[in-house]
């Protein structure tokens, strides 16, 4: 594979960084604990006014690269609720389990494969106190309609991928795409995780960005390498520094039985390397399984060669919520400016929640009126914040902390000269730009 792996093992970011990010997320409106006025609902989170923009930008950036800019990938938005037959065929009913152990001393529950030492309870420190592991199915089950019980069970999807497989024939017949081609989807998934945690890293409700790329069997290996390269590069292209990113091929004993190759894009979280995305060469497992269970033909007839085959699948599967969190960590920076500490999120402009903030120097009507006109001018094109409270220095700091690349200040001179001050988040340089040229000026920098 042509993607370089990080050779030097860099220091993990400090654990204090984790607390700083969680604090900033709450304080600035990125992420709130869910149902907080009722004491919170464990490991469930709500995205606030700034967080919803960050998350949306991560998803939009993914969609842009994976669907908009590609002639060979189409989109899909499949249902979250699905009948047991889907999960029977996919293998999730039988195999989507984690090994659960209970500590007989303190009654805490753990996922065995995630324990540092499988004999020691991290909660009370007891040794050899665990029960035998039980296979715990991670799918949320509910029932459709007013009657509970057998025949009415449905599942919340634990991944978006199956929506693409069960719609393979529909998409093939309607989109005029032929292998190699892909179906992409972004949406919520649900897993009854035994040990959710690390803020939004592992939650029971989360968002995924997945793509199933269907290829002729003899091209699978080449496309697997291609997608590993592409996906690794996507994070770099959106501002992740290479020393916090690596592509890790799975060892043979980590591979699922149907996979002939899987690599994870990993990020150096404050607790160490952990997964952002998995890229897997899944062979013909999924289409074959659904064909067997549904009785429908899920193959492709190549008129050029006269060959009929079941396409093989390369799947890049990423987490949107987890990736948004990683972008926050990677972007967090502090520096001293004139004896004061400045916190700044150096987010790539595509990921930054707001692209611009419009700030009238004071709350006087003669400034706020025209400043709102500047807001209207820019808001037609970008997500723009408007803030007229507090001293200008404090407002700059707030925008730095939420990663806004540019602040536009309308001052008393602006009334006469028709120009505004544009301040750059990273360098803090300021320049005077005529309002008539403002859109072009920003567009050149926000492409």
The Cα 184–Cα 227 span in angstroms is 13
Question: Residue 394, exposed/middle/buried by CB under 10 A (0-12, 13-18, 19+)?
Answer: exposed
Residue 366: how many other CB atoms lie within 10 Å: 13
Kindly provide the residue ranges of all beta strands, DSSP E only, lying in 42-120, ordered along the sequence: 45-47, 73-75, 81-82, 97-102, 109-111
Kindly provide the residue ranges of all beta strands, DSSP E only, lying in 69-165, ordered along the sequence: 73-75, 81-82, 97-102, 109-111, 134-137, 141-143, 153-156
By beta-carbon proximity to ligand ATP, the closer residue of 203 and 409 is 203
By beta-carbon proximity to ligand ATP, the closer residue of 277 and 385 is 277
Collapsed DSSP state (helix, strand, coil) of residue 374: helix
Q: Min. distance of Cβ 50 from ligand ATP in angstroms?
A: 20
Q: Min. distance of Cβ 109 from ligand ATP in angstroms?
A: 16
Q: Min. distance of Cβ 231 from ligand ATP in angstroms?
A: 11
Q: Min. distance of Cβ 274 from ligand ATP in angstroms?
A: 7
Q: Min. distance of Cβ 57 from ligand ATP in angstroms?
A: 17
Q: Min. distance of Cβ 114 from ligand ATP in angstroms?
A: 8
By beta-carbon proximity to ligand ATP, the closer residue of 280 and 374 is 280
Residue 244: how many other CB atoms lie within 10 Å: 19
Q: Min. distance of Cβ 422 from ligand ATP in angstroms?
A: 36
By beta-carbon proximity to ligand ATP, the closer residue of 266 and 284 is 266
Kindly provide the residue ranges of all beta strands, DSSP E only, lying in 116-202, ordered along the sequence: 134-137, 141-143, 153-156, 181-190
By beta-carbon proximity to ligand ATP, the closer residue of 198 and 362 is 198
C-beta of residue 127 within 8 angstroms of C-beta of residue 120? yes
By beta-carbon proximity to ligand ATP, the closer residue of 275 and 401 is 275
- H/E element, 161: helix 161-166
Q: Min. distance of Cβ 346 from ligand ATP in angstroms?
A: 22
The Cα 347–Cα 341 span in angstroms is 18
By beta-carbon proximity to ligand ATP, the closer residue of 196 and 360 is 196
By beta-carbon proximity to ligand ATP, the closer residue of 178 and 248 is 248
Two tokens, residue 48: 């606030």
CA nearest neighbour of 93 among 259, 232, 289: 289
C-beta of residue 395 within 8 angstroms of C-beta of residue 357? yes
Q: What are phi and psi of 248, to 5 degrees?
A: -115, 110
Q: Min. distance of Cβ 242 from ligand ATP in angstroms?
A: 19
Cβ contacts of residue 401 below 8 Å, gap of 6+? 24, 28, 343, 344, 345
By beta-carbon proximity to ligand ATP, the closer residue of 321 and 404 is 321
By beta-carbon proximity to ligand ATP, the closer residue of 203 and 281 is 203
CA nearest neighbour of 343 among 33, 17, 47: 17
Residue 414: how many other CB atoms lie within 10 Å: 23
Q: Which residues pair with 300 in a beta bridge?
A: 309
Cβ contacts of residue 376 below 8 Å, gap of 6+? none
The Cα 103–Cα 126 span in angstroms is 8
Residue 290 half-sphere exposure, CB side, CA atoms within 13 Å?
20
Q: Min. distance of Cβ 202 from ligand ATP in angstroms?
A: 4
Q: Min. distance of Cβ 343 from ligand ATP in angstroms?
A: 26
By beta-carbon proximity to ligand ATP, the closer residue of 326 and 357 is 326
Collapsed DSSP state (helix, strand, coil) of residue 390: coil
By beta-carbon proximity to ligand ATP, the closer residue of 57 and 409 is 57
Q: Which residue has the closest beta carbon to ligand ATP?
A: 319
Positions touching ligand ATP (CB under 6 A) are 159, 191, 193, 202-203, 206, 208, 275-278, 317-319, 321-322
Q: Min. distance of Cβ 394 from ligand ATP in angstroms?
A: 35
């Amino acid at each position: 594979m042509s993607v370089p792996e990080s050779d030097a093992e860099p220091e993990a970011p400090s654990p204090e960084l984790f607390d700083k990010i969680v604090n900033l997320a709450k304080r600035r409106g990125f992420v709130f604990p869910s149902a907080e006025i009722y004491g919170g609902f464990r490991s469930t989170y709500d995205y606030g006014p700034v967080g919803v923009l960050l998350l949306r930008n991560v998803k939009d950036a993914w969609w842009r690269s994976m669907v908009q800019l590609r002639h060979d990938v189409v989109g899909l938005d499949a249902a979250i609720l699905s009948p047991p037959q889907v999960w029977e065929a996919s293998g999730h009913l039988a195999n989507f389990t984690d090994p659960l152990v209970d500590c007989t001393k303190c009654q805490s529950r753990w996922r065995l494969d995630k324990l540092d030492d499988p004999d020691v309870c991290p909660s009370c420190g007891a040794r050899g106190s665990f029960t035998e592991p039980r296979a715990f199915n991670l799918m949320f089950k509910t029932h459709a309609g007013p009657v509970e019980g057998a025949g009415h069970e449905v599942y919340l999807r634990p991944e978006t991928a199956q929506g693409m497989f069960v719609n393979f024939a529909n998409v093939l017949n309607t989109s005029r795409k032929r292998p190699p081609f892909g179906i992409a989807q972004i949406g919520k998934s649900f897993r009854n995780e035994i040990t959710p945690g690390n803020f939004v890293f592992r939650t029971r409700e989360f968002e995924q960005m997945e793509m199933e790329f269907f290829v002729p069997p003899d091209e699978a290996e080449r496309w697997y390498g291609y997608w590993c390269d592409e996906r690794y590069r996507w994070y770099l292209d959106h501002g992740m520094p290479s020393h916090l990113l690596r592509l890790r091929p799975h060892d043979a004993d980590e591979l699922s039985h149907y996979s002939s190759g899987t690599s994870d894009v990993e990020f150096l979280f404050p607790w160490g390397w952990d997964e952002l995305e998995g890229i897997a060469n899944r062979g013909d497992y999924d289409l074959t399984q659904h064909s067997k269970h549904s009785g429908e033909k899920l193959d492709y007839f190549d008129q050029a060669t006269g060959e009929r085959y079941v396409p093989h699948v390369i799947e890049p599967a990423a987490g949107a919520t987890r990736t948004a969190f990683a972008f926050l960590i990677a972007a967090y920076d502090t520096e001293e400016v004139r004896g004061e500490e400045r916190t700044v999120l150096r987010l790539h402009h595509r990921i930054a929640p707001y692209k611009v903030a419009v700030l009238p120097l004071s709350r006087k009507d003669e400034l706020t009126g025209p400043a709102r006109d500047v807001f209207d001018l820019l808001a037609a094109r970008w997500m723009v914040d408007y803030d007229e409270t507090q001293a200008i220095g404090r407002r700059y700091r707030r925008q730095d902390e939420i990663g806004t690349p540019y602040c536009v200040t309308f001052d008393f001179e602006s009334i006469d000269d028709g120009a505004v001050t544009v301040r750059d988040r990273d360098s803090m340089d300021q320049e005077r730009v005529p309002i008539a040229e403002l859109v072009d000026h920003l567009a050149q920098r926000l492409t």
